[in-house]
Structure 1
Amino acid sequence: MSHKIIEVNNLSYKYQSESEVQALNDVSFSIEKGEWIAIIGHNGSGKSTLAKVLNGLIMPNAGTVKVDGALLTEENIWDVRQSIGMVFQNPDNQFVGSTVEEDVAFGLENAGVPREEMLVRVTESIKKVNMADFMTKEPARLSGGQKQRVAIAGVVALQPDVMILDEATSMLDPNGRKEVMNTVKEIKDAANLTVISITHDIDEAANANRIFVMKGGKLVKVGTPEEIFAYGPELIEMGLDVPFAEKLKYALKEKGIAVPASYLTEEGMVDWLWTSLLKK
């Protein structure tokens, strides 16, 4: 049975400093519990603004947001926010404790979690992100990937229903991005967590159940990774990245070579190339 964890209807938001610019313009969608949603779009497309509205950091000018059936209002914003954890781009901006365990405990202390339960949650969440050997270390001395895993542990300890990753891997090297996303996937699968990933990383987006494409404050496309990547040329014209196989198809098409219309993985593209070459 389906369970809509987030429902957004006709959402609009305009920053006061940009009087003519709608950061969000009549956006509507729903997300099922346990889904992984990737939100992609060029800088200024509205994706980070959308994340802030979902987490109650800013209130929309129009439209509604429901989190697990509860309408987000200024009155219940703190209650709803307990259901959504957010991991930001720069983990250094999130650290407040002098050690990893103190930092993870900070959010629990603010939430009034009893000490005995807090100690258990801190230990368990740090273990889940494979950082148990670093509990007494200073966060500032960790690598970028390790810092981001600690930031994720701080969110996991609060036991939210939804985790939002706002460009959470953009400052990491490829290995750091891979280890963080593997950690998120393990946690998501174990707890049936809903993940919303705002990203420029096409490999990260490819792991999602669905991809939302934002442009000019509007939600312009929604589909599976295969469905979205099949718009290769259109995405490239929007300044977005696409998998290598789609870039290759686009380049071949520009040279007048007929290519498959459907989405192909790199393996599929290799098979198609071999088949095409053998015919000639």
Structure 2
Amino acid sequence: MEPIVKLENITFMYQPEDSHPAIKQVSLQVYPGEWIAIIGHNGSGKSTLAKTINGLLLPAEGKVSVAGQYLSEENIWTIRKAVGMVFQNPDNQFVGATVEDDVAFGMENQGIPREEMVKRVKDALEQVRMSEFATREPARLSGGQKQRVAIAGVVALRPDIIILDEATSMLDPEGRYEVIEAIKKIKEESQLTVISITHDIDEAANANRIFVMKQGQLVKEGTPEDIFSEGPKLIELGLDLPFPEKLKQVLKDQGLAVPDYYLSEEGMVDWLWTSVLNK
């Protein structure tokens, strides 16, 4: 299978005279239908990396390939049609007076016929479970609802890839859960490729693979099990540990023999029930 996104030794500097590039010699590949998480502490370069994928930032060195095309000034708008982005603050993305107007806005800019637009707005709002809010003002929605509308606006454009650029970082736990569940549903129904830029370890746990950034460089790559089993090494990188790993450490400190391998929350519940509580 050919990668849908391929970065080849890309380097980016915000100022030509910068001695420390925001991204330095990063190479990675993302395959169709994957959920990829890119994690790292603030300033690690993960959001800068996301913006190079759809041409919001052009690398000083290296190549970016999306859907089989190398990014250039000539095809940048074609690439952007293939890559939808959902940003941190949904309020900065709203332009319509109502939810349905806002979802339709991007399609109007692309000249999509009205009959097709109406259908896509309806479908997109159904996918994020916001149909009943179609005629509401976006400003009157909760944080999680606003972000789901922002996702619907991107989904209606039918991209091949959705990038979530810290899209849940301003939300409370309930809003974060709403957004992640909406993305899971859309990914399954539409076979989208999802790239999540996040510092939320629990969000990253949904990914097929995780890339870890540090000081502009890609320092680790693997499945959630591979990455989270690093334990204290993640903390050294300025990252948190998932709740099951924290619980394992507490239990280990209490003298309990705990598995060395990574456990999801569901796996932790099963292990506690079968190996500890039933003894």
TM-score grouping bracket, smaller chain normalisation: over 0.9
Residue 270 of structure 1 corresponds to which residue in structure 2?
A: 272
Alpha-carbon distance, 1:225 to partner: 0.5
Alignment of 1:65-214 (within 5 A): 65-214=64-213
**Aligned residue identity for 1:236:** I
Structure 1 CA distance for aligned equivalents of residues 185 and 37 of structure 2 = 17
Matches of 1:34 and 1:96, distance apart in 2: 30
Letter in 1 for 2:177: K
Deviates more, 1:119-128 or 1:239-248: 239-248
Q: What is the alpha-carbon root mean square deviation over aligned residues?
A: 2.1
- In structure 2, the residue corresponding to 1:208 is in which secondary structure? coil
> Cα deviation per residue 1:175-204 (whole Å; 9 max; x = unaligned)?
111111111110000010000011122221
CA distance in 2, matches of 1:269, 1:248: 12
Q: Distance in 2 between matches of 1:258 and 1:191?
A: 43
Worse-superposed segment, 35-44 or 254-263: 254-263
Amino acid at match of 1:103: D
Structure 1 residues not aligned, in runs of 5+: none
Alpha-carbon shift at residue 223 of structure 1 (Å): 0.6
Q: Identity over the aligned pairs, expressed in percent?
A: 63
| Paired residue total | 276
Spell out, residue by residue over 1:127-156, the C-alpha distance to the aligned partner (whole angstroms, 9 max, x if none). 111111111110000010110010000000
Q: Report the TM-score, using the length of structure 1 for normalisation.
A: 0.92
Asked whether the equivalents of residues 15 and 21 of structure 1 are also in contact (C-alpha less than 8 Å), the reply is no
Inter-partner Cα distance in structure 2 for 1:167 and 1:173? 13
Gaps of 5+ in 2: none
User: Counterparts of 1:40 and 1:50 in 2: how far apart (Å)?
Assistant: 11
Q: Please state if 1:19 is matched with 2:18.
A: yes
Give the direction of change, closer, same or farther, for the CA distance of 1:272–1:124 in structure 2 (3 Å limit).
closer
TM-score, scaled relative to structure 2: 0.92
CA contact (8 A) 1:230 1:263 kept: yes
In structure 2, what is the Cα distance between the partners aligned to 1:180 and 1:256? 38
